[in-house]
Chains A and B, each alone.
Chain A
Amino acid sequence: MASDVATVRGQQTTLEHKPPRSRWWREVGWRHVIGVVAIAYCLLPLLYILSASLNPGGSLTGSNQLFKTIDFTNYSDLGSTDFSTWAVNSLIVASVTAVGTVLMCASAAYAFSRFRFTGRRATLTGLLLVQMFPQTLAFVAIFLLLLSIGDVFPVLGLNSRLALIAVYLGAALGTNAFLMYGFFNTIPRELDEAAKIDGATHAQIFVTIILRLVAPILAVVGLLSFIATYGEFVIARVVLQTPENFTLAVGLYNWAADERNAPWGLFAAGAVIASVPIIVLFQFLQRYIVGGLTSGSVKG
């Protein structure tokens, strides 16, 4: 693991230089203080949710004694709901969307960064503008679009997870291509030139050189796309209509929408479990995100 290496390297530094305590405080220690404060800010509402999830009659206001009861009823009750189906749906939809987004955006960013062609600026500006469109107000159009498509390709019609993925992919270029584009621009062109002299085609340069160097941003975009898709419910609840196709966000939203008997305890437990895949994914991708470029060829 990259960070293990980093830690080891850090220890070596300590052994070699033996910095005095005051210097450690000045250069490293204060960072821990900030870290602790930031984490407190992060975690407080999450502890609150965790506490609510452990309280069978939990609510979102009024139960201010954290961890008054520790009871896993809510978690076991999840078993009798559609929760696991939703979780699987969410994972499928978010994973496919994330992979598709990364592939499409990386290709687009490569084209924008490495080629000069007519309409390039216009396309870039167009991409930027398209994402400004308030999708929330366009749900009627999405509904009717999928209705028509469904007449021809039933798998891409309403109430289909694949259709939802397609809608998400439609929005993929807007945001993420730019993020990628910025990073692609930081990769020196000399690398491409050298490969070109070696006889590489554009596809070979893209796959074997560029993609490896931009691995961190691929990981970041993949993660961002996964998370955004995972928590999206405004479009998802227009597209998905029956509980067996719901994603977690839609399912949980439906629980929360119950004005009278919202099962807050169940809801909180569901939210806690729902966050696990994101945390795991982040753990897995962290080495790419923060360690990727440091040993790459860019430096050398």
Chain B
Amino acid sequence: MKVEEVVLPGVGHKYTITTRSGDKLVIVVHNSGKRELQYFEGGGPQPGDEPTAALDLTDEEAREVGAILAGVLFHPEAVGEVKTRLAKLTIEWIKAEPGDPCVGRTLEDVQREAQRHAPEAHILAILKEGHALIPNPPPDTRIEPGDTLVIAGPREAVDAVRRELARHAHP
């Protein structure tokens, strides 16, 4: 990423941001507080090129957007009642090692056994090495050594599942 700043006397400041993808974002911060944003796909401005997209923000809007971009306002948890419920829940990433009881079995099989020990725990996803994350994996997915299971539920339930599935990892 490259950022260039230029003073525009009588107007404000101009920032030209070239992203890694080669797109260009020009932001003019006016003395009046107005922000003028222009987005040029693939690096403009070219002769006569109109920006791909343009946007004007007031000072207040710009600050809000800036805070969101900087991650200041981002809360991973939802708010209110949901938050307190979430606090008791947990998500665990459990890696299946060679020799674990779960290895070689289908997900359906494993899930049935997990349900017996801890009915509130759920297998959300499987991460197979070299593949993208499989959310809501189909029941016939076979668990192989090195797979990572994403399990959610109350802490005790998740711990119980972990004990059953991956005894070797946590002796």
Chains A and B are bound partners:
no
Hey, which bits of chain A sit against chain B, CB under 8 A? none
